[in-house]
Chains A and B, each alone.
Chain A
Amino acid sequence: MFLTVTSTEKPATNLGYLLHKNPQRPQTHELTFGKAHVFYPVANDKKCTAVLMLDINSLDLARTRKKAYMGLFDYVNDRPYVSSSFLSVALSQVYSSAMAGRCKKKPELVDKKMRLKAVISMVKCKGGEEFIRKLFEPLGYSIAITSYMLDDKFEEWGKSPYYTINLENNCTLKQLLNHVYILLPVLDNKKHYWIGKDEVEKLLNHGQEWLAEHPDKSMIINRYLNYKKSFANIAFDVLTSEEETEEREERPVSEEALNLNQQRLGTVMAVLKSEGINSVIDLGCGEGKLLKMLQSDRQFNNIAGMDVSVTALERARDRLRLDDVPEFKRERINLFQGSLMYRDKRFSGYDAATVIEVIEHFDISRLAAFEKIVFGYARPRVVVITTPNFDYNKNYENLMEGNMRHRDHRFEWTGDQFQNWCLDICIKYRYSVRFIDIGDKDSRQITPTQMGVFKR
């Protein structure tokens, strides 16, 4: 909502010249999303404080919502009260001269380091205090952070993600403003406008003097550019030296680098090959990571991906580049929306069905329907199912005892629970099953993921 900048370097009122804002004259600037006010609560020889305060009407935000705002604006909205990309935009417009390092009357002040204090309120940051420190401390700031409860009356609701940040540094005003300009949206991890290519320029422009040296520059770049890879790469190339770039590219992809999901999908591929599978349907294909692997292997001539989410399927379409690949390749893959809670003729006719990290998203009471649909009706020759192994959860430091790995998991099974379930299916539907452990074994020889391979 506001940023205060305080100078205690005599004569402190020099701050007014640097900011191009007369301490004696409160003023208002019209912006596209509302107003910004500048005023000075204190302005004397010893101390001078300038406040840049946003004045946004949440109702107007909601009304003028365009596609670019993408659901950021609900009607009951924190945006008017936080310091986010809105404040950055206000900074660049209201304090543009100061940020560019222009000062007609006292040009000698521009590059003068001085004791500056700043208060930013409120900063929304899900990463907590540690994250805030990680961003500012490498830039030389000493920092004090105030945190808040979500509601004093309901302590059980816990801490809020909002903070007031007090910064202190011996630096130029230009530096301070540019730091804040870049880091606000990085803290908030959201932007109120569409990220276009000009955003890269802004980042380079405001960050050129310091970003390259920042230990967390890649994280800053990614978050600032909303994780757009192509944009981030441009920024990287400019900011990092040639040596570093080469190093980055030449680093070999080592065996150990495979993450759990890669290991899981790799195992699925191996199983499908060993069973001599030619046609396969991935039930709950999500964004199509497995499909992509299947697509690039000629053994699989008939591939289908089913998911309950239309959005996931659209992403899968992109990942598989279905709109670009030649027709013969496209014809091998069929994507469609479906559900494992409804019987579906389209599931039939494949050698194998894969159900990768899906069952734990069903309520236990609805598993029987799933079983009947896959093993009773579709009845492929081979069914591959993977699910987390609850026994392994002890190895996750951040996971509280008894908790599950994902908010939407309805259950996570121990090895015994999973195997018993599989064996029941075999009896009911006349399949046989073998089990494969996936992931690195812990000291008790337990792996994070378990797999059942059913055969008819």
Chain B
Amino acid sequence: MNLKIPELSLVVLIGPSGSGKSTFAKKYFRPTEVLSSDFCRGLVSDNENDQTATKAAFEVLHFIAAKRLEAGKLTVIDATNVQPSARKPLIQLARQYHCLPVAIVLDMSERLCQDRNEKREDRSFSKHVIKQHKQYLRKSIRGLKKEGFRYIYTFTNEEDVSNLEIERQPLWNNLRHIKGPFDIIGDIHGCAGELEMLLTKMGYIIEEKEFDYEGFGYNIAHPEGRKAVFLGDLTDRGPDSLKVLKIVMSMVNSESAFCVPGNHDIKLLKKLNGKNVELKHGLDRTIEQLEGQPDKFLGHVKEFINSLISHYIFDDGNLVVAHGGMKESLQGRGSGKVREFALFGETTGETDEFGLPVRYNWADEYRGSAIVVYGHTPVTEIEWINNTIDIDTGCVFGGKLTALRYPEKELVSVEALYKYYEPVKPFESVTEKAYEQPDRDNDMLDITDVSGKKILSTRLRRNITIPEQNSAAAIEVMSRFVADPHWLIYLPPTMSPCETSGIQEYLEHPEEAFSYYRQRGIDRVVCEEKHMGSRAVVIACRDEEAASKTFKAADGQKGICYTRTGREFFSEEDLKNAFIDEVVDTLTQSEFWEKFETDWVCLDCELMPWSAKAQLLLKEQYSAVGTAGVQSLRQVVPLLNEAAGRELICFEVSNETSGKNMDIKELAARYQEKMEMLNKYVEAYRKYCWPVNSLHGYKLAPFHIMAVEGRTFINKEHLWHMNEINEICKAGSNLLMATNFMEVDVTNDDSIKGGVDWWYGLTQNGGEGMVVKPLDFTVKNENGLIQPAVKCRGREYLRIIYGPEYMLDKNMKKLKKRSLGKKRSLALREYALGVEALERFTRNEPLYRVHECVFGVLALESEPVDPRL
């Protein structure tokens, strides 16, 4: 015998103890699909037969069942379930997760059950228990359907049970095996002319032929076998609903189209079925247009609408279509709720001042991986929101009829020929979204997108784990200081220094940077001058329109300049705008936009002077130490000299114990040296400071062109970046400057010497140093990613990092024992995340997908690491 059950169902086994439920479950289902009450009793009490544990056992059972159903897994309940009260919570569970409850009743004879129980060693209960089970079952078995079971199978003898074939049926909405390509068409509302135009525009051949009940007068197909998908609301309001019905029914019949129902279609069906339906919202026109049609045709229309499935899942689950949309938890499920959602979308239960239901913006919260294409709510502008797209462009209200081509994701539309119908709300404001929010925030980020432990999958480095405590720290930073997340499409990684130098008086030296890459199979590197400023990410857009389209920028904003941690550089409005304007103008003059076919660009840069951003640090740390040190030493050195000049009793000098004699001359010399070091330290930090009062005084040195519309440039050599940036700077600007660089062959001694000398030249007078990068932007070897860059800082510069006295031998000895492992590991993870964010952005992925990556970079930055590296 063949036993059909839906692929996603809650199978409830019903039968007295000893009726063979467990055997049945074992034979026909996977062990993980079966939840047995006995097993749960064992879980909570160590004794499968401990009846006092029953309550707890069922709580566990229901909990696990809920988790499985939520995940879309068929689940079998192996418990007696002979009373309605035991079955009721299971039916509720099935409803809650929108899957179908199936009852399989093993109504075996009392005799058989008793015999079996007697044979079991682990179980001994009196005969009346089974008798009672049988009674309960008898009383309630007729009511199973009424209780809510959609499939009920009853077996009364062992033979029937032993020869079964269980057939798991896919749900009707499951068309995962059909992969397209599709042309998904929004609400038509009787606009037959526009529909024909649109189909023709997309290459469908429309042949009119004699009317029959197969083709309804049409033969329509796409020569390349594309399939049309109609999103419902075929009728009402418009001029020719009859023709639309014929076209759609013809295409569905000939399998060149699929169709899901809209709320208007369902209402029409009710009317045709003779139900009392008000002739409102354009239904009156449809009824008029259908007048005089033969009953047979109307019968076909009824049958057609009646056969429509609420939503479809295509292409391995990557595409979902429904009239009103479909949230993730309902996709591929079947229930009244699912159908209602498919027809109307989600509503809050309130109505607005026009008497229309207030919609709940489910798309805003959507986090599913499947694309959801829907209509129902007319919009003036089509917009992707978190992988969902509403393509109802209000044709019947004088807007457009639009199709989305899949998998191309291209939009095709035709303008409405007339305004056929006056909307209840003025169409321009018919966003009908929750509380008519401006569009800016309808991809709002949710706390669950970022909080807690996260595992992010990146192209460059697979899975990167963000620990919970790091997320917690980043939430604070992200909320309090960071710019609008729409702009945060990239954060640069931290950068590790080269290995510690073997040369005595150097902490860092280019040799180590070169050998790092040489040892990892790289022959050529590029050395770029490291400007002593602050790392900055600059996004510039050709104009305000591009900024608002791509980054949802506020009015008047053409770009942004933010720090390594996502904070806006400038707070003053005028300066902010002048800065971006200058960058945009330079890009325009250099014909960047045309050359790169883009409206925006993301640049990785250094912004100078350092003192512009590091004011607080300079005041509270650097100059503070300078003043305190220089002034106190200035006072104490003369005192020491005075003391050293006195005729003193000279003792043998030893400093082993407290209160021992001391060599005052040596001390005086040492403090003199301290003072000199402190002066040099002050000189070192002063080099990176200059006052800026307006835009004049700032310098911006870009070194990577990270991305433009549709692509990133992390596949380009650094020399390419340097040259392209040079081209931009040639346009002439007081703000932008090119970066000095030189190429080094790290296998060639002369070339290495050239690099080292170049570095000496940069650093002798206090330059910060250089950054060494492999010629290719991203390099992987068999051990994975290698550092995209290492820095090599100058001796003088390091005074402000390691303190005024770091060059003293004893200090140097200690400092050389530094460890780079953690910094380097962070640098790679942050690099992979930053690139991932950019790539997701250029692929037009939803905001939350981009945000989780930049958030990851910030979270990793909260990891404690030696700040001097």
Contacts and interface: CB of A to CB of B under 8 A. Distances in A.
Given A121-B635, A342-B447, A28 B662 contact: yes
Contacts of A309: 476
A402 interface: no
A80 B472 CA distance: 35
Of B435, B472, B485, most buried by chain A (CB within 10 Å of CB) is B435
B619 interface: yes
A122 interface: yes
A146 to B, nearest CB: 8
A337 B868 contact: no
Nearest to B645: A41
Given A342-B479, A343-B445, A428 B631 contact: no
Interface stretch (B266-274, B301-309, B801-809): B801-809
A39 B475 CA distance: 54
Contacts of B436: 428
Given A162-B628, A342-B445, A365-B484, A59 B658 contact: no
B811 to A, nearest CB: 5
A343 B662 contact: no
Given A26-B667, A51-B643, A376-B435, A39 B814 contact: no
Contact of A59 (B622, B661, B811): B811
Interface string A373-394: 1001000000000000000000
A74 B617 CA distance: 12
Contacts of A339: 447, 475-476, 478-479
B290 interface: no
Interface stretch (A147-155, A323-331, A447-455): A147-155
Given A337-B472, A341-B479, A373 B444 contact: yes
A93 B367 CA distance: 66
Contact of B691 (A81, A124, A156, A337): A156
A364 B485 CA distance: 14
B642 interface: yes
Interface in A170-202: none
Contacts of A142: none
Contact of A149 (B627, B649, B657, B659): B627
B480 A361 contact: yes
B296 interface: no
Contacts, number: 214
B67 to A, nearest CB: 19
B631 A310 contact: no
B631 A121 contact: yes
A151 B627 contact: yes
B715 interface: no
Contact of A429 (B435, B447, B631, B660): B435
Given A25-B651, A310-B472, A63 B632 contact: no
B446 interface: yes
B623 interface: yes
A29 interface: yes
Given A57-B811, A59-B806, A339-B447, A78 B625 contact: yes
A162 B643 CA distance: 26
Contacts of A28: 655, 658-662
Contacts of A162: 624, 627-628, 631
Nearest to B553: A365
Contacts of B365: 343
B475 A308 contact: yes
Given A75-B803, A80-B629, A376 B437 contact: yes
Interface string A384-408: 0000000000000000000000001
A75 B803 CA distance: 6
Contact of A26 (B446, B625, B661, B691): B661
Contacts of A164: 631-632, 635
B714 interface: no
A119 to B, nearest CB: 8
B461 interface: no
Contacts of B636: 1-2, 51, 53, 121
A430 B350 CA distance: 11
A375 to B, nearest CB: 8
Given A28-B662, A121-B631, A160 B623 contact: yes
Of A51, A76, A343, most buried by chain B (CB within 10 Å of CB) is A76
Contact of B629 (A27, A78, A308, A340): A78
A372 interface: yes
B803 A77 contact: yes
Nearest to A146: B631
A160 B624 contact: yes
A58 interface: yes
Contacts of B146: none
A76 B620 CA distance: 11
Nearest to B451: A337
Nearest to B477: A308
A51 B568 CA distance: 50
A19 to B, nearest CB: 12
Contacts of A408: 480
Contacts of A40: 643, 646
Interface in B701-738: none
Interface string B609-629: 001000000110111111111
A4 interface: yes
A30 B654 CA distance: 12
A344 B621 contact: no
A338 interface: yes
Interface string A36-77: 010111110000010101000111000100000000001111
A229 B648 CA distance: 50
Interface in A1-34: 1-2, 4, 24-30
Interface in B806-822: 806, 811, 814-815
B447 A308 contact: no
Contact of B437 (A27, A148, A372): A372
A175 B349 CA distance: 79
A43 B646 contact: yes
B624 A150 contact: yes
B643 A39 contact: yes
A356 interface: no
B144 interface: no
Given A25-B651, A121-B636, A365-B484, A57 B624 contact: no
Given A26-B661, A30-B658, A342-B479, A372 B444 contact: yes
B175 interface: no
A115 to B, nearest CB: 20
B105 interface: no
Interface in B464-521: 472-473, 475-476, 478-480, 483-485
B64 interface: no
Contacts of B638: 41
B664 interface: yes
B623 A151 contact: yes
Nearest to B631: A148
Given A59-B815, A369-B441, A151 B682 contact: yes
Contacts of A30: 655, 657-658
B823 interface: no
A338 B629 CA distance: 43
A253 interface: no
A4 B639 contact: yes
A421 interface: no
Contacts of B624: 78, 150, 160-162
A122 B803 contact: no
Contacts of B691: 154, 156
Nearest to A347: B447
Contacts of A124: 628
8 contacts: A1-B636, A63-B814, A76-B803, A80-B629, A82-B628, A82-B632, A150-B624, A342-B444
Given A151-B623, A151-B682, A342-B446, 13 more contacts: A24-B649, A26-B662, A28-B660, A28-B662, A57-B811, A76-B622, A162-B628, A164-B632, A338-B447, A338-B475, A339-B478, A341-B485, A363-B568
Q: Closest 4 interchain pairs by CB?
A: A41-B642, A339-B479, A81-B628, A342-B447
